[in-house]
A and B are shown apart, each in its own frame.
Chain A
Amino acid sequence: MAVDRLDAVVIGASVEGLVAAAALATAGRAVTVVERRADATALGEGADAVISAGVVRELDLTSHGLRFAAAPPIVGVSGERALILWPELHAAQASIAALSGRDAEALQGFYVRLARAATPDEQSAGAWLASAQAEPSEAMLFRLTSVARLLDEAFDNELLKGLLAQGAILGTGASPYAPASGQLLTRQSLLAHAAPEAGHRFVAGGERRLRQALLALLKFYNNADVMFGAEAKEIATEREAASGVVLTDGQVLRAPLVISTLAQERAGAMLTGLKRARPAHLPPRASVEPAQVKLTIGALPKLPGVDAATLASGAIVRLNPSLARLAAAHGAFCGLSLPMQPCLDLRFVPRAEAKARWDLHVAMPYVPATTTEGPWSAARRDKLRGLMVRAIDELSAGFGASIESAEMRNPPEADSLLDIGAAALMASQAALDQTAVPEAHGPAALSLLKGLTVVEPTFYGGIGDVGLQAAATGSLVKARADA
């Protein structure tokens, strides 16, 4: 490390943490990322990474090896039918027309509305409502209305509505019927279809490649450093402001700005040396992750109406999606139990090193952090995985036999709940919030204390937005613009 005085320390090498560090590094700031794990490969890999347009622009990530992929088709399978939302409008319309001619026509109008609604509206929904003198803007309409109502008004076909709704709620814990959830429809994957010019881009190679590009960028700047195998023990304070990070090996990294990607409760508990009481916890944000399993399979399942080439192209497949099924699953989730019928999101990714081998990423929304039977033990996680596999088997007999290996990412085992920080923090009772909609439209980097910013996951915009915002909280990035 070339510098002896740091401007910022980032705890956790999650994508958001790395983006924050990268933004600081490119602004000429001395920054160090500390990561408990031994290397980057232990950090998990999401199949999808939709990077925010702003992050790509700001960090010039393409110069560091980042490549983009076309938006994948989104496939809904129900009984003997399949509906494919191709990224190309007319192809999508042709697929929908087989089910509903009216809906096929309505798709274009809905995309136009989605693109308009994606422009943030600063005012809060309740405040707008109670002082409105005129009809709502499209963005406000989406902020006020539930996912289900917006879709019911736009379309007739239940499969299409379920397909879109499941993409909206995945990972949020919100019911599609939750008031003010409509904005979730403007999330990345759909927006990539509706408004490709809005700029959120699918990253080729997913989260792993995105992290690689970020690490390459940090390596390129000699004012930045990433320390693997370095676990933060305390966040030191001086004069009631964060002043650095103490590692478990006793090493002290002093810096006026600490950005933590750990759960805020955990970051708060790590504060030492405060004379006043610890800062009150901020209201918990949406912090729900779907159950996630990565299966390696030797044969693609046969699904009605979808050919193997489509599956292999990285399609996102939703099994029996419907508003009713999502609502029932959400009900079970709020009752801290598992649904009778899971709603699954599948993503097939060909394995680079082997032919006729695919990684199948399965995500299942509405899985509570703990259930009425207790927290997730290894045995109960296996049972959950069995439930997920059986649901696929029902549509494609013999699927189970094609599984060569399985790796479960979520839900984490009970003792690792607070392990990798906010990004993996599971639904607690508080996170059962029906409307995982942040107060302000946009990323959630929150200042917990002077000099300490916590990064919370968000479901708006693209990946990286929160990290970018976190980097700006210490006025360090802005300083560059002034200079």
Chain B
Amino acid sequence: MRSASQASDVIVIGAGVNGLICATLLAQARRRVTVVEAEAHAGGACKTIELVAGHRVSGLAHLIGPLDAQLMKSLRLHRFGLTLSAKNISTIAMSPDGRHITLDGDLRHTAQALAVHSQADAKAWSHYDGRLRKAAQQIERWVQGVPGGAAEQAKAGLFGGRATSKNGALDAEVASFIDASIAEVLDAEFETPLLKGALAFDAVLGSALPPRARGTALLAAMRRAINADTTEGYVHPQGGAGAFTSALLKAAEGAGVRVKLNARVRHLLFDNGRVAGVELQTGEAMHAATVVSSLDPKTTLLQFGASRHLPLAMKRRLNGFRVEGCTAKVNLALAGLPSFKGIDKRLLKERLILCTGIDQLERSFAAYEQGSFSPDPVMEITIPSTHDTTLSAGQHVLSAHVFYVPKNLASGSWDKAKANLMSCVGGVLRQYAPELPDMILAADVFVPRDIEAMAGTVGGHWHGGDLSLDQLGLMRPAVGLSRYETPVPGLFLCGAGTHPAGGITGINARNAASVVLAAEVRA
């Protein structure tokens, strides 16, 4: 017999960002919510780890956001201890010759920075920005809403029914923009390789897509559309990504959510084809009429006993969902702050992109396709210790997302290849900051295989699955599974493997919560 105090209306599987946000929103809507987390710590891909004594760094995700302003308001994370050491973090396209380009969202600044490289590009910038803005505006509701229409959100009234009206038709110009490849769009607009490289890199980062893949311009527009409702852009929490999780955890508990750690789900419980709860590895059964999984869709639907409730075609489609990671994370403890050519030290708090052109990105992808990595990989780096002194007293930590790194090597093993990857990364860093490699005190290299284990997500993919045309919107994670619902009544998805994915945005969780509440209304 369950005691009344133990009873839950909703069980959320996984205490990562999406799981915790979804749980909190449902608790705020007066549902009794329990979160079960397999690990001893909450956070999933959002944890702060110790690299070496005295140096802490965000384990995987190193920037948070862009977070929806309204969502942030309702979570009140600042009350639960969240302090930001940096917000509205800009992007800088770094150049080995020191002629970097700051992309801070200010048209005039960017045009000035571009003029150093090309007058034509400086002029073209506002045109490109305008196209991107227009595309982002037209797809914003699609990006932010539930695929196939956001009617549920209105019913649930999570945020007073704001983001609800139906998607308007796209005008022809936007339609052709988002159907194109990012390389094609950039080649038509600009001539500066560095600019094109950075913008293309930003569009495809994390997905196994080359810059000439159709639909990658859509990713640039999506990124912009996700940014639309944020006031703080990319942020860095004081204490790293783990501090964000801590605040989320407290907010969840503050809203009445029970969080059960060390509680690994063995399988789902069913009752007459409906989900009825979960059974833990310990054998403990937990009952609830609604189960929301923030785990990857493959694990949720194929490993926990739900597969016999799925049509065969859907199972095969879900199997085809590409979740193989292609990004590595490199964390470095540094003896001091290295100087980068041509850049003021104050700018080292920004997000730095090391990609000199679309060519370099393509070479890197070509190596990836052959089951290897480029000797000259592209990467995004942050040096969070420049604004967050809690991470590394007096010294520094650098965090890099290194791109395209295959999960499985065509030859050799990762145990040996990691050192080689690290020396390639060091080689690239040396081109920009010659003394940097000599300042390295300790280094961690996490390849997709490690990320799979650390974040507990099949494949170890940065976005929970490639952001390709066949894996977005109504197609994510598979046709028939895209609206956070599953064919099993009462079972929902809210993780990164759902639309729109990508980044720590909380949109997946917010939409899933609204769908859960709407489903209750229907039932």
Residues of A within 8 A of B (CB): 123-127, 129-136, 141, 144-146, 149, 152-154, 175, 177-180, 182, 283, 327-328, 330-335, 430, 432-435, 437, 439
Contacts and interface: CB of A to CB of B under 8 A. Distances in A.
B149 interface: yes
Given A131-B170, A179-B469, A179-B470, A136 B317 contact: no
A328 B212 contact: no
A130 B170 contact: yes
B370 A332 contact: yes
Contacts of A332: 366, 370
A334 B218 CA distance: 23
The 6 closest A-B pairs by CB, nearest first: A331-B369, A127-B175, A126-B179, A335-B366, A435-B214, A334-B366
Given A129-B475, A144-B470, A179 B370 contact: no
Interface of B: 138-139, 142, 147-149, 166-170, 174-176, 178-181, 184, 187-188, 208-210, 212-215, 217-218, 316-317, 319-320, 322, 362-363, 365-371, 410, 468-470, 472-475, 479-480
Contacts of A145: 469-470, 475
A434 B320 contact: no
A149 B365 contact: no
Given A125-B179, A132-B474, A135-B474, A334 B214 contact: no
A144 B147 CA distance: 16
9 contacts: A129-B215, A178-B213, A180-B213, A327-B369, A331-B366, A432-B362, A434-B209, A434-B214, A437-B214
B178 A283 contact: no
A330 B369 CA distance: 7
Contacts of A439: 176, 179
A328 B322 contact: no
Contact of B410 (A133, A152, A328): A328
Contacts of A123: 175
B120 to A, nearest CB: 14
A438 to B, nearest CB: 10
Nearest to A127: B175
B479 A175 contact: no
A450 to B, nearest CB: 22
Given A125-B469, A127-B179, A332-B370, A432 B474 contact: no
Given A141-B479, A328-B410, A129 B472 contact: yes
Given A126-B179, A130-B170, A179-B470, A331 B475 contact: no
Contacts of A152: 319-320
Contact of B179 (A124, A283, A331): A124
B142 A130 contact: yes
Contact of B363 (A154, A330, A335): A335
B181 A130 contact: no
Nearest to A109: B313
Nearest to B363: A335
A286 B171 CA distance: 26
Contacts of B319: 152-153
Given A125-B469, A130-B142, A136-B475, A328 B214 contact: no
Contacts of B188: 283
B474 A136 contact: yes
Nearest to A180: B214
Given A182-B470, A434-B213, 5 more contacts: A125-B469, A126-B175, A179-B215, A330-B369, A437-B214
B198 to A, nearest CB: 19
A152 B473 CA distance: 21
B479 A180 contact: no
A328 B175 contact: no
B369 A175 contact: yes
Contacts of A131: 142, 167-170
Contacts of A331: 365-370
Contacts of B181: 433-435
A134 B213 contact: no
Contact of A334 (B175, B208, B369, B474): B369
Contacts of B214: 125-126, 178-180, 434-435, 437
B493 to A, nearest CB: 17
Contact of B147 (A132, A154, A180, A435): A132
Contacts of A327: 369
Contacts of A129: 215, 218, 469, 472-475
B135 to A, nearest CB: 9
A182 B469 CA distance: 11
B213 A130 contact: no
Contacts of B370: 328, 331-332, 335
A134 B213 CA distance: 25
A389 to B, nearest CB: 24
B215 A126 contact: yes
B179 A132 contact: no
Contact of A126 (B184, B212, B218, B316): B218
Contacts of B187: 430
A180 B469 contact: yes
A275 B175 CA distance: 33
Nearest to B478: A153
